Amino acid sequence: MDATEDTNTSKQYALFHKILRESKHVAILSGAGLSAESGVPTFRGPGGYWRRFVATQLATPEAFKENPSRVWQFYHYRRNGMLTKQPNPAHKALSKYRRLVDSKQAGETTTFTVITQNIDELTPRDVDPIEMHGSLFRIRCTACGRREQNRDNPICEALRGTEDIEKEEANIPIEKLPSCSGCGGLMRPDVVWFHENLDEDIMKRISDVLRECDLFLVVGTSAIVYPAAGFAERVKMKGGKVVEFNIEATMDEEDVDMRFVGPCGQTLPKALRVDGME
């Protein structure tokens, strides 16, 4: 198949539907573009900034060590921003397709796995996504490692109102930042920062998925951040097919078998044949 064929034609959808029905192990890698139509800013779009910082400057252990008050204000801003965000048709399509597979109504497909780079927890829980970069709504103790789910807004009194980026950046003393209910240690967002290793068990689970995968859908990601950016190649090397869903052609020509160019809230439900499903 030549990926340069005009994408999104009914002919291309029909071809994809045939491939999908005949694939045994379907996997998805999703990025910020999956949540874009829910109003969640992507990293490399205009939303990739907070005050005068680029997100990638704040999502590092060095930044947290040097200025935990600033990094917590960045995560509070994103947690607070998620209050008004809902799953969009692309998220819902994942849930619907998972139901089709589980009820053996998806042709030869026997497994469907969603690997997400997103930490927004918008991917429905019934999809049981592999959240490889952690979650905005989980925190962990820097001292004893205790992990907690936490959706409090604000997560601590000192962060209240700091989401207003018109105001001066606050300088919150460490003792007023979220602290561990077990040992009193400083809590941090339970996410994978740049220059941090990913969870070994998660990487093992992902390797098992990629080994089996015969159809890999890359949805809404700029495919820049490793190790996620290297997953498609591992599927291709074993003869699996790779299909990109993005608003612009992003992955290299030779790395994709097909592309659906457009908002994934429109292309994904159609491609997974769940657009008519409740």
Q: Which residues, in sequence order, are CB contacts of 86 under 8 Å at separation 6+? A: 38, 122
Is residue 264 a contact residue for ligand BV8 (CB under 6 A)?
A: yes
Structure-token match 């992955």, residue found: 251
Residue nearest to ligand BV8 (CB): 33
Measured from the CB atom, the residue of 107 and 263 that comes closer to ligand BV8 is 263
- Which residue among 144, 165, 174, 247 contacts Zn ion (CB under 5 A)? 144
Binding segment (CB under 6 A) for ligand BV8, from list 95-103, 175-183, 223-231, 232-240: 223-231
**CA 145/CA 137 separation, integer angstroms:** 16
Least gap, CB of 210 to ligand BV8 (angstroms): 17
Does 107 help bind ligand BV8 (rule: CB under 6 A)? no
* β 53-54/25-30 pair status: unpaired
Q: How many chain residues bind Zn ion (CB under 5 A)?
A: 8
Alpha-carbon gap, residue 109 to 22, rounded angstroms: 7
By CB under 5 A, name the one of 182, 211, 230, 248 that touches Zn ion: 182
Catalytic residue positions, numbered: 133
* Ligand-binding site membership of 155 (annotated): no
Q: Give percent helix, percent strand, percent coil of the chain, each to the nearest 5.
A: 40, 20, 45
Per-residue mark of binding to ligand BV8, 115-154 (x: CB under 6 A): --x-x-------------x---------------------
Phi, psi of 53 (to 5 degrees): -110, 145
**Selected range binding ligand BV8 among 11-19, 169-177, 195-203, 236-244, rule: CB under 6 A:** 195-203
Sole binder of Zn ion in the list 27, 55, 127, 180 (CB under 5 A) = 180
Residue 73 as a binder of ligand BV8 (CB under 6 A): the answer is no
DSSP symbols for 31-83: -HHHHHTTTPPPSSSGGGEETTEEHHHHSSHHHHHH-HHHHHHHHHHHHHHGG
Given ligand BV8, Zn ion, none, residue 250, with its beta carbon under 5 to 8 Å by kind, binds: ligand BV8
One of 143, 202, 229, 277 touching Zn ion (CB under 5 A): 143
The interface partner of residue 87, options being ligand BV8, Zn ion, none and the CB cut-off 5 to 8 Å by kind, is none
Q: What angle do CA 53, 59, 65 make, to 5 degrees?
A: 100
- If phi > 0 it is left, if psi is from -120 to 50 it is alpha, else beta; for residue 276 that is alpha
For residue 31, state whether it binds ligand BV8 (rule: CB under 6 A): yes
Candidate segments 20-28, 29-37, 202-210, 251-259, binder of ligand BV8 by CB under 6 A? 29-37
Q: Which residues contact 219 (CB under 8 A, 6 or more apart)?
A: 28, 29, 30, 31, 33, 34, 90, 245, 246, 264, 268
